Every structure is written in structure tokens, then in C-alpha cells.
Chain A
Amino acid sequence: MTKDINILGIETSCDETAVAVVRNGTEIVSNVVASQIDSHKRFGGVVPEIASRHHVEQITMVLEEAVRDSQLSWDEIDAIAVTEGPGLVGALLIGVNAAKALAFAKQKPLVGVHHIAGHIYANRLEEDFQFPLLALIVSGGHTELVLMKDHGNYEVIGETRDDAAGEAYDKVARMLNLPYPGGPHIDRLAAVGEANIAFPRAWLEEGSYDFSFSGLKSAVINKIHNAKQRGEVLKDEDVAASFQESVVEVLTSKTLRAAKQYQVKQVIVAGGVAANKGLRASLETAFKQVDIPLLIPPLHLCTDNAAMIAAAGTIAYEQGRRSSLDLNANASLLLK
């Protein structure tokens, strides 16, 4: 029997202070997430300086809880993995500096991890990967299609040219006076509304796997404004349903086309918007028809967490990737 690999992961790229321990890249040993969402709600979005302040207050407490929950000794922990980017730089810095201090204090290897690689590897905590695979990442900060031919090998084949899908959700939610974060509220309204407003779909050039949501966002805003001026009554539920239909249709159809073109064996959905019921339903229907297995992680692994960072870090560790003590936070790190 080969020896287990236990990786401690740290994630602080946005508004969750998270630490986890993962065994062999597939099994969660402990997973602690301290969310700041209640603190940011009153501002209608994440305030970077306030996020950084919370991270520095929380970090050692979250570390302690995750290590205690793991019931492992430090001898059994093989390496420290940490999100080095992308994200809010001030927030990332807390995780990166905590990770470096731990790596030095405990004389452990340090592995920097890309946040999106983490989101993808959240799925491996549920089911092992089959290559080639296609990952659709949808969150407040990202909308990307990533092709993977092997572990640790990432090729971005499509990405957003303006807003991330989650960002568009938040802005439309604000127009409808829904509380932050707006995504789940729109999803809820959309479920009971009727998609009877024709909003545009941004397909971009033929064959492109890129996304664009700013046009859709403007169309929704204009529709609401114009209706108000004319004294027309728009049902919020219908606006939500029509907006969501546009987003979901573009995401589903591009993902499906890419999956066919690259003849992938698996499709993975990752990121906070993967929790969206409308998107899940649409993807499930589409991929059932073509018989390609679709993996969507459970809700607690869709949103930011450190188990996903430890899982992605395990592969990087096994492949011999190491970061040195001059590791820095990189707000616009590229996925390679």
C-alpha cells in the first residue's frame, strides 16, 4: 500500500477565510469555511479592504479548527497549498503569507494554486476525473471553459470578454432590489416566472467559446427603465426568468458544442453559479441527450472553500511543483 498524501489548503481570495485538509486529492479530512457574507451585505458587495481585515482576524482560528478537525499530526501533513491568485490582492495576501509562515515553521513544501484549478478539482472530491475533460467555471468573478487533457494540464478555450456571469446576476438583482448576493434570488424568481421578454444572446463570432454578458445586462436595465417610464408593469419573476434563460442558453450551448468538438469523456461545472438550479437543469438535460457524464459538485463545494485548493494542490504536489518563500499574491494570475 502506498502512503497517503495529506495536503493542507488555504483559500482567502475573496470573502471566505477557508482552511481544509484533503487526503490523496480525493477525500476531505477537514474543511472549515468562515464566511464574511453578513459583513459585506450592508455594502451590496464585497469591499476589498473589509475582506482583508476579516481575513487577518480569522486566519489562525480557521487554521486551528481545520487542523484540529483533521485529527492529524503535523508529521502526517505533507505540504501546504494556498491560492496565489486570481482574486482580491489584499485578501490573497493573508492566505499566502500565512501559508509561507506555516511552511517555514513546520518545514513543509509550499505549493501555490490557481483559484480556478481549485474550483475544477472540487469535483474530484466527489468522483475521479476521466480525460479529456471539459470544465465550465461560472462564478462572480469567472466564466470560463477549460479543457484538460491530463491532471494539472489546463487550456482555457473560452472566457468572458467583459462581465462574469455571476456579476451580471448581481447587477440584475440590484435592479430588481434583491438583496446581495443576488444570484440565488434571481434563480428562485426565475423558477416561478415566465421567460416572455426577448433578451439578446451573445453568441459572438462563429466558433468562439468566449462569453459576453454586458450587453445582456444593459438590455435588462434598459427594459426595466423603459417600462417604468411608460408606466408598464413588468413582473420581476418574468424579468428574472427571461434574463436567466438567456444566460443559461448561451452557457449550455457553448459548453455542449465544446464537449462535442473535443470529444471529452466528462464535463465538470464549477464555481458559485454552479449552484443555480436553472443552469443545472439545462445542462443535465443537454448532456443526458448526448450521453456525456456531467459532474456538478454539491453546493458547499461550488462556493469558495479550501478543500478544492488542497485537492488541486495535491496534483501539483505530486507533479513536483513547488513554490518558494518569495511566493506572492497575484490578482490576475493566469491558469496554466
Chain B
Amino acid sequence: MNILAIDTSNQLLGVALLKDNQVIGEVVTNLAKNHSVRLMPAIEKLMNEVDMTPDQLNKIVVAKGPGSYTGVRIGITTAKSLAWALNIPVVGVSSLEVLAYQGKFFNGLICPFFDARRGLVFTGVYQWQADQLTSVYEEKNMLMVDALEKLAEEGKEVLFLSPDIAIHQEAIVDALGDLAKIPEGPYHLARPANLALAGLDKEPGETHTLTPNYLRLAEAEANWRQAQKEKQQNG
């Protein structure tokens, strides 16, 4: 069983290959460079290096967001096109869930997040229970202050994981004090091998229906819906 994992949902570019549940190769960069240019060459290079041909792949796992809309789409398009062409299943895993994998040995709440500008974050709250990652608060696009207020009310230890940790670190410590656990650098970068693991026991859906986990409407769509609502109220 050979699994290819792909993550271009945020700044990190990650590709991993698993053979019979063993990681046999991983490529990770954390650079502000173009995913579209670099993803396929990264996959090709890694597969060459481990002597694997595309038709030997059995499954694809992809980080489906939240994150950069464009980045998420590059990953999903590549993953579903590969899966369709090779006639193998593809599984999408939330990019926040992949980050939460990095806190596997933490007993408290885990709050992975990605900065979404103007004080907003894409976030959710997770917890490991009996070796199972479970969702405590569903993923949302919300203000970081609101997320922190909710977490402070819990009065529990919270592990924060995010490539954008620096932007919100001060606010986190202000809100949670000693209850906030913030590890060092590498834990904030979602390893594609963890993505592959997260996809292991997920049931693949139909390839065609795999779509990004944006957590936010397109701006024009949101404005249009708002206008429709106002029209209804006034009319």
C-alpha cells in the first residue's frame, strides 16, 4: 500500500510517501514561493528518489484547507486529478486537523489556527482521546479574540499550534496566561507524514466531490447574500 500525501494549503509545501504505513520519503519547505510551480516537480523528484512510479500509488491524501484559497486549490486539483487518472481513492483532511496531529501526546485542548488577516483566524479545537483525535469546537473563521475568550472560559490547558503563532502569541498569553502552551518552531509546521497518517483511517469519498474546506464564502458571494437578505427585510 503506497500513499502519497500533499499539502499546499498554506505557506508550507509538503509531500510525503508512505509504504505499508512507513514513511519512506518526505519533502518540506517553508518558503513564500509559488506552490503551482514547485508541487509537481517535488512529487516527481521524491518518487524518483524512492523508485516509485505513479501507477504504483494506491491512495492520495491531501490537506483540503483552511488556508490560502489558491494554495488549497492547487493541492486539491493536483490530488483529485492524480487520483482520477490513476483510478485510486483520494482523501481530504482538514489542514487544522493535520496541525493537531503534532500535539498527539498532549492531554489538554489543542487549538490549531491559521491567520486570516484583520484579526481573524481559521481555527477549531481538538483533543486526543484514547488515541483518537476528536473535535471539541468545530472549525470556523472567527476573530482570534473571540476564540481566546471562549478558551479562557474553559479554564483548561491549551496547546496552540500555528505557523502564524508569532502574530497572535501576545494575545494568547494575555488571555490564557500559564494555561497557554506554546511549543517551539517545528511543532507549528504540519508535517506531510502526519497528513498521511491522518488520512489512513478516513473513508475516501467520490473523487469528483472532493472540494476545498474554505471555511469562508467568497467575498462577492457573501456581499450578494447580504444584499438579498436586506432586500427581503425591506421588501
Contact residues of A with B, CB < 8 Å?
42-43, 47, 49-50, 52-53, 55-57, 59-61, 63-64, 90, 93-94, 96-98, 100-102, 104-107, 324-329
A12 to B, closest residue via Cβ? B77
Tell me if A325 and B41 are in contact (CB < 8 A): yes
B54 to A, closest residue via Cβ? A105
Given contacts A93-B77, A102-B81, contact A61 B36 (CB under 8 A): no
Residues of B within 8 A of A53 (CB): 73, 212, 214, 218
List residues 16-52 of chain B with CB under 8 A from any CB of chain A: 34, 36-41, 43-44
Partner of A56, one of B37, B207, B211, B220: B211
Tell me if A97 and B70 are in contact (CB < 8 A): no
Given contacts A57-B211, A106-B85, contact A101 B40 (CB under 8 A): yes
Tell me if B37 and A326 are in contact (CB < 8 A): yes
A-B contacts, CB under 8 A, total? 100
Say if the beta carbon of B167 comes within 8 Å of chain A. Answer: no
Partner of A63, one of B34, B41, B43, B84: B84
Say if the beta carbon of B224 comes within 8 Å of chain A. Answer: yes
A108 to chain B, nearest CB (A): 10
Number of B interface residues in the complex (CB < 8 A): 35
B159 to chain A, nearest CB (A): 32
Tell me if A60 and B84 are in contact (CB < 8 A): yes
Partner of A104, one of B74, B82, B214, B221: B82
List residues 68-118 of chain B with CB under 8 A from any CB of chain A: 69-70, 73-74, 76-82, 84-86
Residues of B within 8 A of A63 (CB): 81, 84
Q: Is the interface of B mostly helix, strand, loop or mixed?
A: helix
Residues of B within 8 A of A42 (CB): 224
B127 to chain A, nearest CB (A): 31
Task: Kindly state the separation between the CA atoms of A56 and B55 in the bound complex, as whole angstroms.
Answer: 23
Partner of A52, one of B54, B73, B80, B82: B73
Task: Kindly state the separation between the CA atoms of A105 and B218 in the bound complex, as whole angstroms.
Answer: 32
Task: Kindly state the separation between the CA atoms of A232 and B27 in the bound complex, as whole angstroms.
Answer: 69
Tell me if A64 and B78 are in contact (CB < 8 A): no
A192 to chain B, nearest CB (A): 33
Say if the beta carbon of B170 comes within 8 Å of chain A. Answer: no
A70 to chain B, nearest CB (A): 15
Tell me if A94 and B219 are in contact (CB < 8 A): no
Tell me if B220 and A50 are in contact (CB < 8 A): yes
Residues of B within 8 A of A60 (CB): 80-81, 84, 207-208
Residues of A within 8 A of B55 (CB): 105
Given contacts A43-B224, A93-B36, A328-B36, contact A59 B80 (CB under 8 A): yes
Tell me if A50 and B77 are in contact (CB < 8 A): no
Tell me if A59 and B77 are in contact (CB < 8 A): yes
Partner of B37, one of A47, A94, A328: A328
Task: Kindly state the separation between the CA atoms of A2 and B165 in the bound complex, as whole angstroms.
Answer: 62
Residues of B within 8 A of A94 (CB): 73, 77
Given contacts A60-B207, A101-B40, A105-B54, contact A50 B221 (CB under 8 A): yes
Residues of B within 8 A of A93 (CB): 36, 70, 73-74, 77
Given contacts A52-B70, A93-B70, A325-B44, contact A101 B77 (CB under 8 A): yes
Residues of A within 8 A of B86 (CB): 105
Partner of B220, one of A47, A64, A96, A324: A47
A256 to chain B, nearest CB (A): 41
Residues of B within 8 A of A50 (CB): 218, 220-221
Given contacts A50-B218, A97-B78, contact A56 B73 (CB under 8 A): yes
B187 to chain A, nearest CB (A): 30
A45 to B, closest residue via Cβ? B220
A53 to B, closest residue via Cβ? B218
Tell me if B40 and A64 are in contact (CB < 8 A): no
Besides A56-B211, A57-B211, 16 more A-B contacts (Cβ < 8 Å) are A42-B224, A43-B224, A47-B221, A50-B218, A52-B73, A60-B208, A97-B40, A97-B73, A97-B78, A101-B78, A104-B40, A106-B54, A106-B85, A325-B41, A327-B37, A328-B34
Task: Kindly state the separation between the CA atoms of A106 and B40 in the bound complex, as whole angstroms.
Answer: 13
Residues of B within 8 A of A325 (CB): 40-41, 44
B2 to chain A, nearest CB (A): 14
Residues of A within 8 A of B73 (CB): 52-53, 55-56, 90, 93-94, 97
A44 to chain B, nearest CB (A): 10
B74 to A, closest residue via Cβ? A97
Tell me if A326 and B211 are in contact (CB < 8 A): no
Residues of A within 8 A of B224 (CB): 42-43
Residues of B within 8 A of A98 (CB): 77-78, 81
A244 to chain B, nearest CB (A): 30
Task: Kindly state the separation between the CA atoms of A166 and B74 in the bound complex, as whole angstroms.
Answer: 30
Residues of A within 8 A of B77 (CB): 56, 59, 93-94, 97-98, 101
Tell me if B82 and A97 are in contact (CB < 8 A): no
Residues of A within 8 A of B76 (CB): 56
Residues of B within 8 A of A326 (CB): 37-38, 40-41
Residues of A within 8 A of B44 (CB): 104, 325
A324 to B, closest residue via Cβ? B41
Task: Kindly state the separation between the CA atoms of A43 and B79 in the bound complex, as whole angstroms.
Answer: 31
A39 to B, closest residue via Cβ? B221
